A = this chain, B = another copy of it.
Amino acid sequence: MRISQLSDRAGLPVGTVKFYLRTGLLHHGFATSATQALYDDTHLERLRLVRALLEVGRLSHADIQRVLNALGQAGDEPLDAIETFGRAAAPLIDGIDEEDLAAARSVTAELGWQISPDSPHLPDLARCLAALHSVGVAPSRERVRTYAEAASHVARHDLQAVADSDERSRPVEAVMGATLYDNFFSSLHRLAVENQVSRQRSRVPAPRVSVPSA
């Protein structure tokens, strides 16, 4: 298909598609002249992936580039794919305080998790804990445990989904598990809060029990 059809089907302006071609987020088409090229379904799939990561995952251009680079490197083996995209999607964070990192490591140690001391995911946890601490609402040990249980619960399912996927959809499944499924969780989290607030509100107030006078 021509670039105009590709742009139509991906729901993106031609200018945006050209921008992705220039910056390498989209691979080049099959050139039919000096100014024209043809594109196929691999281009459409790639554009949909970029769009999802950008608009919903709110990943930066550089983050998407790292994730897409990993697409060419990840092995077929499910655990490899999960690890590769997990690392590629880890936010790049510089200048984390060593003390904050140590605090993050002790959180995962207390949970009994097998985490590499130089895991790319630790700086993110460290920064988050430091921010919560700075505004005076650091999580209690019990809250850490509650969140960790929930995270383990969905992580088990993420691994299973990648293992169960066929070879063709496996990379996308692994990429989404490392990116958009966090947004999926956030939106469900907000709705779960709304649900529970609404349930607590609609509870009929307990009838007043009059204390019999002695």
- Contact call B172/A136, Cβ cutoff below 8 A: yes
For A118-153 the 0/1 string (1 means CB < 8 A from B) is: 010110110111011011110110110011111111
**A74 beta carbon closer than 8 Å to chain B:** no
Considering residues A48, A134, A159, A202, which has the most beta carbons from chain B within 10 angstroms of its beta carbon?
Answer: A134
Q: How far is the CA of A55 from the CA of B150 in the complex (A)?
A: 24
Question: Of B45, B134, B176, B178, which one neighbours A190 at CB under 8 angstroms?
Answer: B178
* Chain A residues with a Cβ closer than 8 Å to the other chain, count: 83
User: Which residues of B are found within 8 Å of A119, using beta-carbon distances?
Assistant: 191, 194
Q: Kindly report which residue of chain B lies nearest to residue A130, judged by CB atoms.
A: B56
Q: Which of A72-94 contact B (CB under 8 A)?
A: 79, 82-83, 86, 89-90
Number of copies of this chain that the complex holds: 2
**A199 beta carbon closer than 8 Å to chain B:** yes
Q: How far is the CA of A140 from the CA of B181 in the complex (A)?
A: 12
**A161 beta carbon closer than 8 Å to chain B:** yes
- Contact call B146/A180, Cβ cutoff below 8 A: no
- Contact call A158/B48, Cβ cutoff below 8 A: no
- Contact call A172/B125, Cβ cutoff below 8 A: no
- Contact call A146/B155, Cβ cutoff below 8 A: no
- Contact call B131/A201, Cβ cutoff below 8 A: no
- Contact call B128/A184, Cβ cutoff below 8 A: yes
Q: How far is the CA of A188 from the CA of B179 in the complex (A)?
A: 13
B-binding residues in A (CB < 8 A): 45, 48-49, 51-52, 55-58, 79, 82-83, 86, 89-90, 108, 113-116, 119, 121-122, 124-125, 127-129, 131-132, 134-137, 139-140, 142-143, 146-159, 161, 165, 169, 172-173, 176-178, 180-202
